[in-house]
Amino acid sequence: MNSEQRTIIEVNGIKMEVDLRHAKRVEEYRVGDNVKVLVKGYGDSYESCAGVIVGFDAFRMRPTIVVCYLKPGYGAEVKFAFITPDTKDIEIIHMADYDKLLDADKTLEYLEREIIKKEAEVLDLKMKKDYFVTAYEKIVAPINKEEIENANG
């Protein structure tokens, strides 16, 4: 065995020689660590996203690492990954010092635009509902508006 395939480690004062061909590297993660998230896309494609570890859920059967990440594209889509021992199609690694972090101002600006867009969609749906109720009354039969309001909470 050559020296590239072995190393000496010390555990509690005891030195051991380890065969690197059979050694397993253990990564240490903490809440708040910046990570890269490799996410499977369509087909065989993958994309790398910037993320941060936001929690660990110590479930007995499936301990989970919770990662909040931003999917690249126009702006940034905020997503969450729940990584368990049997998770497929997603991986995380520590973000290197030279990796580019996201621009907080641009991301917040994008999220604010998305909020405005979704609020406009809600307003549009409410107007369509009101129009339907009004038009339906004229076409078919009267609708009990109180009943509809109570059903929608």
Q: Does any domain span residue 10? A: no
Domain boundary among 94, 114, 131: 94
Q: What is the C-alpha separation between 119 and 112, in angstroms, rounded?
A: 11
Domain co-membership, 108 together with 84 = no
Domain boundary among 94, 122, 142: 94
Tally of domains within the chain: 2
Q: Does any domain span residue 2? A: no
Span 67-100, pLDDT tens digits: 988 887 666 678 899 998 888 888 888 888 777 6
Domain co-membership, 73 together with 37 = yes
Domain co-membership, 121 together with 84 = no
Domain co-membership, 88 together with 31 = yes
DSSP track, 34-102 = EEEEEEE-STT-EEEEEEEEEEEE--SSS-EEEEEEEE-SSS-EEEEEEE-TT--SEEEEEPPTTSPPP
**pLDDT, average across residues 118-133:** 92
Span 109-121, pLDDT tens digits: 878 888 899 999 9
Q: Does any domain span residue 140? A: yes
Model pTM?
A: 0.58
pLDDT, mean over the chain: 81
Q: What is the C-alpha separation between 78 and 108, in angstroms, rounded?
A: 11
SS3 call for 128? helix
> Residue 120 has what pLDDT?
96
> Residue 139 has what pLDDT?
67
Q: Does any domain span residue 14? A: no
Domain co-membership, 79 together with 112 = no
Domain co-membership, 64 together with 112 = no
Q: Does any domain span residue 68? A: yes
* 25: pLDDT strictly greater than 80: no
Tell me the pLDDT band of 152, cut-offs 50, 70 and 90: low
Q: Does any domain span residue 18? A: no
Q: Does any domain span residue 1? A: no
Domain boundary among 94, 113, 136: 94
Domain span at residue 42?
27-94
* 1: pLDDT strictly greater than 60: no
Contacts of 24 by beta carbon, 8 Å cutoff, 6+ apart: none
**pLDDT, average across residues 117-126:** 95
